[in-house]
Amino acid sequence: MSVGRPPATMTEIAAALGVSSATVSNALSGKGRVSAELSAKIRQAAEELGYVPSHAARALRTGRTGVIGLVLPDISNPLFPQIAQAIEQAAAAAGYGVLIADSRGETAQQTAAIGRLIERGVDGMIVVPRRGSRIGDIGTPVAIIDSPSTPGNTVSSDHWEGGMQMGRHFASLGHDKVLLIAQSRESNVQNDRIGGLKAGLGDDICCETLWVEDLEASQGAGSAFGLADRVADGFTGFAAVYDLLALRALTELQRDGIDVPLQASVSGFDDLVWSSVVIPSITTLRQNLSTIAECAVEALGHAIADSETLSGTSIAGRPNCERVPMMLVARHSTGPASGSVVSASVNARKDSG
């Protein structure tokens, strides 16, 4: 609020009180030996003079900037804002600032982005790796958010178990022919989800996987999934591996005059903004991003601490939250398979949000 005037320094506080700047530092950090009353006086003076610590000076002296980097893959991932928000939140709570770096989809850019962060002197970084890429040892503490299948200092949702929940959801609704829709075979996350879905559906349910990358390779980008034909073939369930695919499926079915959820059920993953807003609203699995962010920041904090005592380069199998559970959000895009009879209780737990 007080505009223009540069913030006071420790030296100024010291001068104002006639003590040494070391004493001020000790009082404010609570580290050295300072009498209670002097300490109180110093704190008060600091308050009155509008003292703001110089992060630059502290960083220079201690070698720690109090800033962590957040490396994100291609921006097109609509889950990114939520991740970024959760990380920023958790980092701020832990006293860190968050510097962003975008890898613009390319692996080379990912490396460059990491380099830029290191040059800026971040204490560590959190990486959401680009699909199919590995983060080598970069001489800086790192925490990775990906899938539990990724080795290393990784925090993640339990995508497999989530898939299983969704598989069971379809099973309980009486579907017996379900199409799994995924984008890329390279993605650990998608593979985990697919595996879980199959496990949840069980052996009695017929399921098949549509890989969109294959489809688009042959038919061109943005081509239709041909779901109406699938419905004609007896498919009643369409479980997509993330919400964008679910939305694509939903609108295609609707366009072709197929009623969702009466004739076909559709589900996604991630609970993106629009999922609750679309009509019918989409049944999906929500990640507990705030927990993941907290875990990632905490794990990174440990890695940073370790990298100081132990020489060498961190990365411990630290986080005990390697598999954060996901939450099924049942909404209106899934319902009993047409022609099947199910207990009413299943549908009762839908919310309207």
Partner DNA sequence: CCAAGGTGATTAATCGTTTAATCAAGCATA
Partner DNA sequence: TATGCTTGATTAAACGATTAATCACCTTGG
Tell me which of DNA, a copy of itself, none is bound by residue 244, counting a contact when its beta carbon lies within the kind-specific cut-off of 5 to 8 angstroms: a copy of itself
Q: By CB under 8 A, is residue 219 in contact with a copy of itself? A: no
For residue 261, say if its preceding peptide bond is cis, omega within 30 degrees of 0. Answer: yes
Q: Where are the beta strands (DSSP E) in the chain?
A: 67-72, 97-102, 124-127, 142-145, 154-155, 177-182, 206-211, 237-240, 265-267, 284-286, 327-329
User: Is 22:66 a contact under the CB 8 Å cutoff?
Assistant: no
Map residues 293-332 to x or -, x wherever contact with a copy of itself holds by CB under 8 A. ------------------xxx-------------------
CA 199 to CA 2: how far, in whole Å?
61
Identify which of residues 113 and 207 has a Cβ nearer to a copy of itself in the complex: 113
What one-character DSSP code corresponds to residue 276?
Answer: G
Alpha carbon separation from 154 to 79, 236, 289, 303 (Å, rounded):
18, 36, 14, 12
Q: By CB under 8 A, is residue 11 in contact with a copy of itself? A: no
Identify which of residues 20 and 85 has a Cβ nearer to DNA in the complex: 20
Site for a copy of itself in 73-102 (CB under 8 A): 75-78, 80-82, 84-85, 88-89, 92, 97-102
Q: By CB under 8 A, is residue 132 in contact with a copy of itself? A: no
Report the Cα–Cα distance between both ends of the chain, in Å, rounded.
40
CA 180 to CA 235: how far, in whole Å?
11
User: Is 178:207 a contact under the CB 8 Å cutoff?
Assistant: yes
Tell me which of a copy of itself, DNA, none is bound by residue 121, counting a contact when its beta carbon lies within the kind-specific cut-off of 5 to 8 angstroms: a copy of itself
Q: By CB under 8 A, is residue 281 in contact with a copy of itself? A: yes
User: Is 51:13 a contact under the CB 8 Å cutoff?
Assistant: yes
Q: By CB under 8 A, is residue 262 in contact with a copy of itself? A: no
Q: By CB under 7 A, is residue 327 in contact with DNA? A: no
Tell me which of DNA, a copy of itself, none is bound by residue 67, counting a contact when its beta carbon lies within the kind-specific cut-off of 5 to 8 angstroms: a copy of itself
Q: By CB under 7 A, is residue 217 in contact with DNA? A: no
Site residues for DNA per CB under 7 A: 6, 9-11, 18-23, 25-26, 28-29, 31-35, 38-39, 51-54, 57-58, 60-63
